[in-house]
Structures are given as C-alpha cells and as structure tokens.
Amino acid sequence: MVWKVRAPLRVDLSGGWTDAAPFIEEHVGALVNFAIDKFQIYDGNEISCGWLGMGLGTSGGYNVVKAVVEDGLYEREKILLRAYQRELQENVCGMQDMAASTYGGLNYWEFYRDSFYRVPIPLTEELRRGLQDLAVLVNTGKSRSPRHFFVYASYPYVEPILVKLSEIATRMRDELLSEDMRRVRQLVRDTFYWQSRIPTVTTPEIEKLVGMADAGKVCGAGGGGCVLLLFENEKRLEEFKEKCKEIITYKIWEKGVETTYKEIK
C-alpha cells in the first residue's frame, strides 16, 4: 500500500491501565510498551488498518495519524497530546497507545494527570531476541472493546491491582536496562497474575495459551484480542508453533509516526 502517513501499533509489556484517570490523579502510572510493524496508514484518501479489535492500540494510532493529517502537527510531543485529546472525546483511555505510536521503539513511561515522562530503552541484540525473535502474538479470534471495561467501572476494587502493575513496570524497566530476559519473563508472568485478578480480562482460552509459553499476558484490555507469548529458546517456540497456527509475528518498530513529505521531530 502506498502511504503518506503511518503510525505503528503497540504491545504493552507491563503496567497497562495505569496510564488513565482516575489512577493517575492519585498515583504515578508506570508502563512499559513497544511499537511494532503493524500500522494505521493514511494513503492520501483515508486512514486504514487491518488489526482492529486486537488490543494493539489501533484507535490511538488512528488519532496520531489524524493529529498529523488534520491538525498539521510535526512535533512528537504536540502530536501525542493532541491525539490524546482526540481519543478522550470518544473513549475512556490513557495515553500509552498514542505514546507508543508517536515515538516508536521500546520505552518506559510515567504518566501524570497532565504530563508524561519517557525513558527510551536501547533495543540491544539480547532484548530484540527476547521480545521479538522468541515472541509471538496469538489472536484469540474474539474482539474486545475498552468502552465497556471493568477497570474503570469498578475502580475501588481494581486500584490496589493497578498499584501492583505500576510497581512491576518500574522493575521491568530496570531488568530491561540490565538485559536480563529471565527476569523480564518472570515480570511478564507477574503482570498476567495481577491482570487475571480483574474480571473480564482473561478467559479459559487465554489461560491455556499463556500456559503453553514461558511467559505471557493479554494485550490491551484483554478478554479477547491478542495474547503476547514469550519463550526461552527456539526449541520451545517451534514446539508451540506446531500446536498453534494462529500466530502473528512482528518486528519492533523504532521510528514512531512518520510521513513521506515532512520530517517529524
């Protein structure tokens, strides 16, 4: 497809949901995510994407593209904040989807009520191997919608869980910077443990898939969409591929939103 503006989608590694109100009104929302080579694309006529409903941040990428195409913005911070404003008009959400789509790469984020803080994590050979080459997404075949998500409807119940997820994300940052994939996988397992304490997030099918990997978690709001699975080595990954044919491979995308006609700074 010919493209004029494209914005990558994302995979949230740890800390999902801690980027949104009401959590960020009283806490620091900590989160780790990375952009992937699946895109929202503007071809000069319309914005299109083939990955809707999979928990990969498609609506965030859509609004990032609109911030460039309709608002004429070419500075990443301004693009992110404008895309977030657009998203809030239609959705109960945080900023992480737009953040990953705008900046690309592997990042640790802290989200506050009116601002954000970003720590880019260098994508070393070890991290690329562990998060990309020995990892897959699996589409459960069931779409999910954050508009009806239990987290925001039952906040008093989930607040302590979100505190745990935010703490795990901060530890995840340190282990990624140390390139310790064994510890990273453990923290992904910890993330899924706390995710699964929230009703509507997991299903028997999701739990079965996660149990077949060395680590795994739901993407986005869960309850359907994609599951991220990590493996210790090629043998384990190949064994899984023989059992499951609905896998999606990806590359970590480091560029963020880009255009064919002007540099985005």
Token reading at 11:
């995979």
% residues pLDDT > 70 (the chain) = 93
Token reading at 202:
């997991």
Q: What is the chain's mean pLDDT, rounded?
A: 92
Q: Where do you find CATH 3.30.230.10 in the chain?
A: 5-121+251-259
Q: What are phi and psi of 182, to 5 degrees?
A: -60, -45
Token reading at 65:
């593209």
Q: Which helix (H) or strand (E) holds 8?
A: strand 5-14
Q: What integer pLDDT is reported at residue 153 of this predicted model?
A: 64
Query: Tens digit of pLDDT for each residue in 59-75?
Result: 999 999 999 999 999 99
Q: How far is residue 167's CA from residue 154's CA, in Å, rounded to a whole number?
A: 21
Among 99-103, 151-155, 202-206, top mean pLDDT goes to: 99-103
Token reading at 107:
């990042």
Going by pLDDT thresholds of 50, 70 and 90, the confidence category of residue 262 is: confident
Query: Tens digit of pLDDT for each residue in 116-128?
Result: 999 999 999 999 9
Q: What are phi and psi of 230, to 5 degrees?
A: -115, 145
Q: Which of 96, 81, 77, 84 has the alpha carbon at shortest distance from 30? A: 96
Q: How far is residue 24's CA from residue 114's CA, in Å, rounded to a whole number?
A: 9
Task: Give the single-character DSSP code of 252.
Answer: B
The arithmetic mean of pLDDT across residues 238-244, rounded, is 94
Query: Tens digit of pLDDT for each residue in 35-62?
Result: 999 999 999 999 998 888 888 999 999 9
CATH topology classification for 127-248: Alpha-Beta Plaits (3.30.70)
Q: How far is CA 215 from CA 110, 178, 186, 229, 237, in A?
A: 24, 19, 7, 6, 12
The arithmetic mean of pLDDT across residues 146-151, rounded, is 53
Q: Which helix (H) or strand (E) holds 185?
A: helix 181-195
Q: What are phi and psi of 117, to 5 degrees?
A: -135, 135
Cα three-residue angle 10-222-161, rounded to 5 degrees: 100
Q: What integer pLDDT is reported at residue 9 of this predicted model?
A: 98
Does domain 5-121+251-259 bear CATH number 3.40.50.12780? no
Please give the model's pTM, rounded to 2 decimal places. Answer: 0.94
Q: Which residue has the tokens 């119940």?
A: 157
The arithmetic mean of pLDDT across residues 105-110, rounded, is 98
The arithmetic mean of pLDDT across residues 168-191, rounded, is 98
Strand partners, 163: none
Q: Where do you find CATH 3.30.70.890 in the chain?
A: 127-248
